[in-house]
Amino acid sequence: MAVTIKQIAQLAGVSRGTVDRALNKRGGVNPEVEKRIMEIAESLGYKPNIVAKSLAMHSQNHTIGLVVCSEGNDFFSEVYRGIDTAADEIKDFGFRVLTRKMRGFDIDEQLRHIDELEQTGIHGLAVMPINDTRIKDRLNQLTQNGTPVVALNVDIEGADNITYVGCDYTVSGQTAGAMMGLVTGGKGRVLIATGSHKLLGHQMRVAGFTDVLKTEYPS
């Protein structure tokens, strides 16, 4: 796990702002304290957070909205750990994260969360999008209005997101299909138990799985 400014600050007994000034040679730090900070950073193998440095160059007091279909899903405990770590790293640069959690895949509920976040004046949105035309149109509207959108964990068809952060679900399905072919010897009846067809990623995973069975293990 990457070493953070917060960890260095705790070990040095100073504020994160002091550590930031020392590491970036901004001045205003006692020479002895700066030396101690630099020694701790070097011993821990600290590397600058390029994202945080980039954010520091932009206007302060920005809000990032986050909408995820996560209630009751233990998988997201690790995702939230990453989100919390990132949020902690950038909050000193004037950024905050507003999170809206959903249980299941209700389109109207997701639209409502997006609307609420937009009304708060968010400067960017990360969303686990339901693969639906109304969601796509709403996200494209945000993009056209100057609010960048990132698809998180699952992608969506036809949306002008700046990027997608997640795995290749087709390859995941193909991998599972190949493993199933091997363990069954290429013969038998297979039942697929998956999540929701409202999510593009789940559709892609099933498609990758069945394609491998049809082409490599037709029996």
Each residue's pLDDT tens digit, 14-65:
888 788 888 877 777 888 999 999 999 989 888 776 655 555 555 568 899 9
Edge to edge, the sheet with strand 149-152 lists: 95-102, 62-69, 124-127, 149-152, 163-165
Instruction: Give the pLDDT confidence of 137-146 residue by residue, as tens digits.
Output: 999 999 999 9
What span, in angstroms and rounded, lies between the C-alpha atoms of 73 and 55? 31
Instruction: Give the pLDDT confidence of 158-195 residue by residue, as tens digits.
Output: 999 999 999 999 999 999 999 999 999 999 999 999 88
- pTM (2 d.p.): 0.68
What span, in angstroms and rounded, lies between the C-alpha atoms of 53 and 161? 23
Among 74-78, 79-83, 152-156, 170-174, name the most confident range: 170-174
